[in-house]
Amino acid sequence: MAKDILSARQDFPVLGTQVNDRPLVYLDNAATTQKPQAVIDTLSDYYTRYNANIHRGNYTLAIEATNAHEAARAKVANYINAEHSHEVVFTRGATESINLVAYSFGERFVQAGDEIIVTQLEHHSNYVPWKLLCERRGAIFNVVPFDENGDLDLDVYKSLLNEKTRLVAVNHVSNSLGTVNPVKEIIQLSHDAGAVVLVDAAQSVQHIEHDVQALDADFYAFSGHKMYGPMGVGVLYGKEKWLDAMPPFLSGGEMIDVVTPEKITYNILPYKFEAGTPYVPGPIGLATAIDYLQSFDEQELHAYEDDLLKYGIERLKEIPGLKLYGNPKRRSSILPFNIEGVQHYDLGILLDARGIAVRTGQHCTQPIMDALKISGTVRASLALYNTREDIDALVNAIQRVLKILRK
């Protein structure tokens, strides 16, 4: 039996707490999700029962920790439908995963005069590394704009693709507008032009489809903490052929095979890209988070979140003077808005006084804000434990704040 979605709240201890003498309404899930008790217990179990370094020890604790870490890798590979578990590299987060590709793939495959394409909808973590790569290698940096609805202009994208395009970087879901980008179509077009594609899945892997083989993604990056897992662990999926061909990103222990004064050879995948002592409990906790996600019926979960998003849009539109940004063909989990005459930062503080956690500012997407000609937004973002009552609490709090401000 799949778990009842409406029972999820009781699995997250922090959701029973109070903030400023009010029940917590947590709507900043695009920044990080809360953790179910099962994940918290997994981390505690590791530290209290078998804390040890991995891969190098032949004693019982080290073997147990190593086995749990590698079992987590297999679980992640299964979750995203990677062909091989060694195509899963553990990092500190999506940002490090993307930087790894920018440096390692860039060093091997990008030359002066080559071209990189990103989109105007990217988080800085999937924008700045490519801009810096182009500056280092003398490559050309191209940006695909979005239209008035928040959808990418695919005609511009097609016009930018050519035989010099080496890599395309695109998010599956925009962290600022919630736009679900047509990444499968983008990947097919890119491959037809001979280009490689990296998908930033930080905002999508917990909400929508995440089959890397069906997408045919060359690289796929996400963070554990945005899918109910621990902070400090991320994933880079890369097709075996690309990871084999790329040089290491960091050097030191574990990533080497032979070290002599004359030469250095590298370890096999994925260890070639996992230098040093890893955050061992991170992947183990992420595996528990995946177990938790998979305890629900996936179709029911997606339908529930889509219905909640639709309800949030309808309720927010009831507020006079509120502008909701974007009207994309498909949106996921993000409600970005401003209210006429109210600074977004001030509104965030006033909502916090009523126990409601939202994010304000540019959300690490200055190109989006510049295109919209605004300084930032209030962003409410949803997770599986949110309810219509949370949306109602947000709307009621905004209405009360506006009454006070507009007296």
Residue 398 CA to residue 339 CA, distance in Å, equals 9
Average pLDDT over every residue of 328-348 = 97
Residue 325 near residue 334 (C-beta atoms within 8 A): no
For residue 337, give the 3-state DSSP assignment: strand
Residues forming the active site: 364
pLDDT band at 185 (very low <50, low <70, confident <90, very high): very high
User: How confident is residue 355, by pLDDT bands cut at 50, 70 and 90?
Assistant: very high
Q: What is the pLDDT of residue 332?
A: 98
Residues 339, 3: contact at Cβ < 8 Å? no
Residue 56 confidence (pLDDT):
86
Domain extents in the chain: 5-30+297-405, 41-293
Contact 114, 161 (CB under 8 A): no
The verdict on domain 5-30+297-405 having CATH code 3.90.1150.10 is: yes
Determine which helix (DSSP H) or strand (DSSP E) holds 322, and give its type and residue range: strand 322-324
Q: At what angle do helices 281-293 and 60-80 cross, to 10 degrees?
A: 40
Could you tell me the pLDDT band of residue 375, with boundaries at 50, 70 and 90?
Answer: very high
pLDDT band at 1 (very low <50, low <70, confident <90, very high): confident
Decide: 102 and 130 in contact? Cβ < 8 Å: yes
Instruction: Find the mean pLDDT for residues 304-320.
Output: 98
Contacts of 316 (CB under 8 A, 6+ apart): 322, 324, 335, 337, 394, 395
DSSP bridge partners of 234: 91, 223
For residue range 41-73, list pLDDT tens digits in order: 999 999 999 999 999 899 999 999 999 999 999
9-27 pLDDT, tens digit each:
999 999 999 999 999 999 9
Q: What pLDDT is recorded for position 75?
A: 98
Yes or no: say if 390 and 55 are a contact pair by the CB < 8 Å rule.
Answer: no
Which amino acid is it at 184?
K
The Cα–Cα gap between 366 and 378 comes to: 14
Instruction: Give 199-258 pLDDT, tens digit per residue.
Output: 999 999 999 999 999 999 999 999 999 999 999 999 999 999 999 999 999 999 899 999
Residue the block writes with tokens 């401003």: 338
**Fold category of 41-293 in CATH:** Aspartate Aminotransferase; domain 2 (3.40.640)
